[in-house]
Amino acid sequence: MVLLVLLTVPLLLVKYPPLQDLPNHLARILILKASPDHPLLRYYELNWQLLPNLAFELFMVPATAIFSLATSAKLFLAFATLVWLCAPFALHYALYRRVSIIPLVGGLTLFGAVYQKGFMSYLLGSGLVVAFLALWIASSHRPLANRIVLGLLASSSLFLCHLFVFGMFAIAVSIWELLDGAAQPRPVPTLLKRKAPLLVGSFTFPAIAFLFFSPTSGASSPEAVVLWPSDLVVHLGYKLYLVSTLFPVGRAGSAISFMAFVVLFAAAAWQKPPGMNGRVLAICISLLICFLILPPKLMSGANVDWRLLAPLSLIVAGAINLSLSASQASAAALCVVLLCGAQSYKVATSWLSGEKDFADFTRALQPLPAGSRLYYAAVNMPYSAAIATPSKLHLAGLAAIEHSLVVPTLFAYRTQQPIAVRQPFEVRHKSLEPFSENVTDIPWDIVLQDFDFVLLASPTEIDIAPWMRLRRLRSEGLFHLYGTSRESGVVR
């Protein structure tokens, strides 16, 4: 309970948690609930389909009937945090039938990149996949039909969270079951025949739904991917660097948090008998191999490789089994609470520093009438600065939420989201992005013709060429608002 309070304190300090993708997600919820005459529905349309990434929408749509958009998002994050903290304890109990303080270390990875980037459905799925694995292990002696029902419910729920967590659950359960006879080896054909009804029954429905009824199955990454690059040493070094995405407290804090995991894992391995279940160890090794060989992009999904680390860290936290004295357990708990407290403090101060940017952003847009078309981009900064917390990349979503402005850069891919851009804008505005390292790289011919206002986030003075025909209206902090020649034709 103490850890839950510590890790949710930052949510109480700001109106909108400044997570990278969150404004985009919240604007999508606004569109899903909008009345037919809402200005945003002149640009976007509903696209409800069987998509493997709908958990956030399925929570938020009913929640916003009771609470505000901002409060509902905080409740979702608080619930995801609760699941994240409880899942390793459930796994530990399912494996060893006892309660331990060790699973607390799972809290050290909560504020990692999955959280800070605002991967909302995946965040919830990361905890749920471990919780469902615990339920699966605990049900080992249940009748076949009961386990198939459990498998169907778990795999279907995880499918709605994210395709990748569904895949991780399928891998983990398959390894657990296929190693069931490790102590008394059976011929492989016999083992497969024995386990096939259980595994097929548990995963067939979501697999068929994805392959034949979900548009996501036909999506592909625009970038070529290779599993094994020519420079293997550089590749493995980069993968090692990605481990830092689990920890948000700077280099020193990340090193300390990482070492806590390493020390506990080493102590478990040194202990006799080894302090980790053998089948779960095989699951961890398999997922680690997936992390090492998977490319950053796959099936239109970004950050495919390091996303695996979040659920993997929770599985490790739940699987470590150490015999600790009362004083050792108290000391370990105190260390974890202090580390999590330091993380929460760092996140809170970072979020509070972003409140000025949010206030400046709101003031810059204050005079604009609802229904205006606004193009927003972060410019004159490296991409790493645009996505650094508090992120400036997707603030256009807040313009849609707070001012009912029509912005073109919301996530609205037909194969991934339950909204889509209407024609002809879907094709015409495909090249519009919320980031441009140089102002001149923006497709100004489209922007000047189709948008009423332009808002640019820049830490330096913006050089506006005369041919752009932009009128500077006001500046607030980083944000500079311009009117285009279309301004007189604003839809009100």
Locate the DSSP E strands across 4-65. Answer: 44-46
Radius of gyration of the chain (CA): 24
Other Cβ atoms closer than 10 A to 40: 22
Q: Give dist(CA 5, CA 82) in Å, integer.
A: 10
Three-class SS state of 48: coil
Question: Torsions phi, psi of 436, nearest 5?
Answer: -150, 120
Whole-prediction pTM: 0.91
pLDDT tens digits in sequence order for the chain, 492 residues long: 789 999 999 999 999 999 999 999 999 999 999 999 899 999 999 999 888 889 999 999 999 999 999 999 999 999 999 999 999 999 999 999 989 999 999 999 999 989 999 999 999 999 999 999 999 999 988 999 999 999 999 999 999 999 899 999 999 999 999 888 655 566 667 777 778 888 888 888 888 877 776 666 555 544 445 555 566 777 777 787 788 778 766 666 677 777 777 777 777 777 766 678 889 999 999 999 988 888 776 655 667 778 899 999 999 999 998 888 888 888 888 988 988 898 899 899 989 988 888 999 999 998 799 899 999 999 999 988 888 877 889 999 999 999 999 999 998 888 889 999 999 999 999 889 999 988 888 999 999 999 999 999 999 888 887 777 888 999 999 999 999 976 544 433
Answer for the pair 125, 161: CB distance below 8 angstroms, yes or no.
yes
Per-residue CA distances from 94 to 157, 176, 469 (Å): 20, 13, 66
Q: Which of 79, 77, 169 is nearest to 119 (CA)?
A: 77
CA distance to 3, 95, 184, 268, per residue, from 90 (Å): 16, 9, 27, 19
DSSP symbol at 301: B
- CB-count exposure of residue 34 (10 Å: 0-12, 13-18, 19+): middle
For strands 479-483 and 471-476, give the pairing: antiparallel
Specify the pairing of strand 435-436 against strand 471-476: unpaired
